[in-house]
Amino acid sequence: MTRRRYWVYGLLFLLNTISYTDRVNMSLAGRPVAQEFHLSPVTLGYLFSSFLWAYVLMMLPGGRLIDSLGAHRVAAMCCALWSVAQICTGLAVGFWTMLLARLGLGVGEAPVSPISYRSVRDWGPHTEHGTAIGVIQAGTLIGPALGAPIVGWLITVMTWRGSFFVTGAVGLVWTLVWIALVTTPERTRWLPDAERQKILAERHVGEPPPVSEGIGYRGLLRSPTMWGVAISQGCAVYSLYLYLSWLPNYLQTTRHVSMVASGLFTSVPFLVGAAVIVIVNKIGDAILTPETLRSGKRRLVVATCLVLTAGGVFIPYAQSLALVVLLTILPVSFSNTATAVNAALTSDLLRSPGDAGRAFAFLVLGGNVFGLLAPIVTGYIVQATGSFSSAFVLAGILALVGAATSLLLTRHTLGEDTPTLTRAPVAAAGV
């Protein structure tokens, strides 16, 4: 049996890598940008967070667009849009023009995670959903891990503006490759027929779901499980964006390391996290049976990851830089792993493929409502206290809240209590 679907996973991995490289670019450039435009820590925090404002606003419309147009079409449109916005960031002449470019980045990047999750559901047998999502989402860690030192070097040799030009151009190249190769399993010509039939027969957990058109946002919002995965996702993403946005600045200002060194030290926890996210999800796929998947037992993995994420509270008390980097591995690795496992949990519990884009969009929306607050709140904390300590403690507390929420609420199939569900043939997703 061939595994040519892995090429789709590989391209989605690259999409996430490019997406997060573009995000970390602003984190590395934050100090020279603040110096050139005379920005305070609070103003810089708003600039770090600004792309998430548009990201959050476009999340639910993006999920609906994925369900109507197909993940493959929306992926090409969005990557092209945000890559142009990334290039425009390098052309900014002040705070407001940079803010507009960052908002464009947010609009383009909003559907990336729902695109990835929906594509795995469409392209992969259910026995590999967790592993595939883990591999693809490892790109969100590889992006900062490799992107941080590369962007730091680009800023050093080309100025911060040049770094945005280069990273934006990479996204445009990816868009051309994706358009040339990917549609849906049903219509992709380079996919052998035997592999196509395996995908179509095994991509659902258990029996094919009885609903074709889905129950929509209204039905999903009546499910405690939908709220459980969204809130726990938010608690994980808060930590992720705290470290993604402020870690280089923390290392430069509090630990007094250079621009290039801050990029190298930032890369370590993200690189380790890329391995952790794949290993944890592969173990989950191996030990969880279809029965335990349908009952939501993957939530135990989510909760464990969030408890480990809370270990970031000890960072301010570390005396050596090496110990700081080691401790940072906990929140960076396990917050991102929790989000990937949560996506697989959502897929396990989702009743209708017609709701996949919307459910994943609401999951990511929950994450990024919290995520957009992390850079802003951290900016206020740093300006008020002159220290990052309280910011790390707050992130740890939220991680524990997320663990409790996952254990208590994610116990039922998404939409199972909706009385209007009717049996109907399952339509081919994305056709």
Q: Render each residue's pLDDT in the chain as its tens digit; 431 residues.
A: 678 788 889 999 999 999 988 887 888 888 888 888 888 878 887 887 787 788 778 877 877 788 788 888 999 999 999 999 999 999 998 889 999 999 999 889 888 888 888 888 888 787 787 788 888 888 877 887 788 788 888 988 988 899 999 999 999 999 999 999 888 888 888 888 888 888 787 776 554 555 445 556 676 777 888 888 889 999 999 998 898 778 888 888 888 888 777 777 878 888 888 888 888 877 877 777 777 777 778 889 899 999 999 999 999 888 888 898 889 999 988 998 898 888 888 887 776 666 677 787 788 787 778 887 888 898 889 889 988 889 999 999 999 999 999 999 887 777 554 444 333 333 333 32
In-domain check, residue 414:
no
- What's residue 216's pLDDT? 65
What total number of domains does the chain contain?
1
In-domain check, residue 427:
no
pLDDT digit string, tens, across residues 248-283:
888 888 888 887 777 778 788 888 888 888 888 778
Number of neighbours of residue 291 by Cβ within 10 angstroms: 10
Expressed as residue numbers, the domain containing 295 is 5-409
Structure tokens at 155: 């800023």
In-domain check, residue 415:
no
Chain length of the chain: 431
pLDDT digit string, tens, across residues 191-234:
888 888 887 877 765 545 554 455 566 767 778 888 888 899 99
pTM for the predicted model, two decimal places:
0.66
Number of neighbours of residue 224 by Cβ within 10 angstroms: 14
CA separation for the pair 147, 161 (Å, rounded): 15
Contact (Cβ atoms closer than 8 angstroms) between residue 87 and residue 108: no
What type of residue sits at position 100?
L
CA separation for the pair 406, 413 (Å, rounded): 14
- What's residue 168's pLDDT? 93
CA separation for the pair 358, 210 (Å, rounded): 17
CB-side exposure of 247: number of CA atoms within 13 Å?
32
Hey, which residues does 350 pair with through a beta bridge? 414
- What's residue 307's pLDDT? 95
End-to-end Cα, the chain, rounded Å: 24
- What's residue 53's pLDDT? 82
Structure tokens at 37: 């435009």
In-domain check, residue 430:
no
In-domain check, residue 429:
no
Residue whose C-alpha is closest to residue 277's, from 296, 300, 305, 297 = 305
Residue whose C-alpha is closest to residue 109's, from 7, 48, 24, 20 = 20
Burial of 189: CB neighbours in 10 Å, binned 0-12, 13-18, 19+? exposed
Contact (Cβ atoms closer than 8 angstroms) between residue 202 and residue 120: no
- What's residue 213's pLDDT? 55
In-domain check, residue 214:
yes
The angle, 0 to 180 degrees and rounded to 10, between the axes of the packed helices 224-253 and 259-287 is 150
Question: How is residue 207 annotated by DSSP?
Answer: S
SS3 350: strand
Q: DSSP labels for 245-307?
A: HHHHHHHHHTS---HHHHHHHHHHHHHHHHHHHHHHHHHHHHH--HHHHHTTTTHHHHHHHHH
Give me the CATH number covering residue 268. Answer: 1.20.1250.20
CA separation for the pair 67, 196 (Å, rounded): 21
Q: What angle do CA 18, 24, 26 make, to 5 degrees?
A: 120
In-domain check, residue 354:
yes
Sequence-ordered list of residues with C-beta below 8 angstroms from that of 266, at least 6 positions apart, any chain:
24, 27, 28, 144, 148, 149, 247, 248, 251
Taking phi first (over 0 means left), then psi (-120 to 50 degrees means alpha), and beta for anything else, what does residue 414 get?
beta
- Alpha carbon separation from 337 to 28, 129, 184, 228, 242 (Å, rounded): 23, 14, 27, 17, 16
In-domain check, residue 416:
no
